[in-house]
Amino acid sequence: MNLDDFEAYLKETDLSDNTITSYKAAVKQFYQQYDVVTRRKLKEHRMWLIESYKPKTVNLRIRALNCYLESIEKPEWKLQFVKIQQKAFLENVISEADYEYFKTCLKESGEKEWYFTVRFMAATGVRVSELIQIKVEHVKIGYLDLYSKGGKLRRIYIPRALREEAFEWIEEREINSGFLFLNKHGRRITTRGISGQLKVLAERYQIDPSVVYPHSFRHRFAKSFLERFQDIALLADLMGHESIETTRIYLRRTSTEQQAIVDRIVDW
């Protein structure tokens, strides 16, 4: 095994630094148990992963190993993913009421950078790794174009109301170009920095921290979009989903919403 060669292979893709790190760790974990790669040992390792981790984590490790097998030209040895039983409800999605309350608290407290961090995620559906790529120039034209590994274009639209509000913030900061979301040192903020501060702010405003994390606002975007415009194919495009089946989860209600409906209508 040569992790340096694998890292070089990964850097030729458009994977994020965090993904590259996790892929290397997954391969290193395999080699901590086995000296060489064989089909039998790969299957044994898959069984060990299933016994040791949750299905989602198992699939992340398998995805890394399959990428490694491609890099050593053994794609025929790729491992099968485990089936994840999809729940009949969404979990840990910030409610519209809590989202509105959170925005209000941030704005009234003068936490404008975090107000706009939350606004951009919930109003555009961006992943946090995409959020930190937004520049002043993108606000000016109203969208950000991103290209996937296969060269597929995804356009992230910035709604008019958000653009107009963001322009005032940009003018206050007296910036004309460059990344929109910066840390206290004036450099582009990290995804970890955003996640950590959101938890701090959730505690400050007494909101359940389990629903205040970057992807929760992406979920909020999808839920709110479908409530107002029932076009799941369009939502799949806006979210950057490869399959519309991935988007169908947003047709489900959260467990809190399900409970409220049951409480209201079941009177027998």
CA–CA separation, 162 vs 169, rounded Å? Answer: 11
Examine the fold and report which residue of 47, 77, 107 is the final residue of a domain before the chain moves on.
77
In a domain, 89, yes or no: no
- Determine the pLDDT at residue 1: 56
In a domain, 82, yes or no: no
> Do 119 and 233 reside in the same domain of the chain?
yes
Q: Strand locations in the chain, DSSP E?
A: 143-147, 153-157
Other Cβ atoms closer than 10 A to 47:
10
> Do 112 and 65 reside in the same domain of the chain?
no
> Do 142 and 72 reside in the same domain of the chain?
no
> Do 122 and 61 reside in the same domain of the chain?
no
CA–CA separation, 84 vs 87, rounded Å? Answer: 9
Q: How confident is the model at residue 206 (pLDDT cuts 50, 70, 90)?
A: very high
Tell me the pLDDT tens digit for each residue of 52-89.
888 888 999 999 999 999 999 999 999 999 887 666 55
> Do 246 and 214 reside in the same domain of the chain?
yes
CA–CA separation, 121 vs 131, rounded Å? Answer: 7
SS3 for 143? strand
Under DSSP, the state recorded for 36 is S
Residue 242 scores a pLDDT above 90:
no
Buried/exposed 172-202: b ≥16 CB within 10 Å, e otherwise: eeeeeeebbbeeeeeeebbbeebeebbeebb
In a domain, 166, yes or no: yes
Rg of the Cα atoms in the chain: 21
- Determine the pLDDT at residue 155: 92
Q: Strand locations in 23-152, DSSP E?
A: 143-147
What average pLDDT does this structure show over 103-131?
Answer: 95
Find out whether 59 and 84 touch, Cβ atoms under 8 Å.
yes
> Do 149 and 26 reside in the same domain of the chain?
no
Under DSSP, the state recorded for 185 is T
> Do 53 and 119 reside in the same domain of the chain?
no
In a domain, 225, yes or no: yes
Q: What is the CATH number of the domain that holds 60?
A: 1.10.150.130
Nearest partner of 109 among 217, 214, 205, 180, judged by Cα: 205
Examine the fold and report which residue of 49, 77, 105 is the final residue of a domain before the chain moves on.
77
In a domain, 113, yes or no: yes
User: Residue written as tokens 């292979």?
Assistant: 9
> Do 42 and 111 reside in the same domain of the chain?
no
- Taking the model in full, what pTM does it have? 0.67
Find out whether 214 and 131 touch, Cβ atoms under 8 Å.
yes
In a domain, 90, yes or no: no
In a domain, 88, yes or no: no
In a domain, 192, yes or no: yes
What average pLDDT does this structure show over 119-146?
Answer: 94
Residues linked to residue 197 through DSSP beta bridges, in sequence order = none
Amino acid at 242: E
> Do 227 and 101 reside in the same domain of the chain?
yes
> Do 207 and 114 reside in the same domain of the chain?
yes
Domain span including residue 32: 3-77
- Determine the pLDDT at residue 77: 93
> Do 235 and 199 reside in the same domain of the chain?
yes
**Number of structural domains, the chain?**
2
Examine the fold and report which residue of 24, 47, 77 is the final residue of a domain before the chain moves on.
77
Q: What is the CATH number of the domain that holds 112?
A: 1.10.443.10
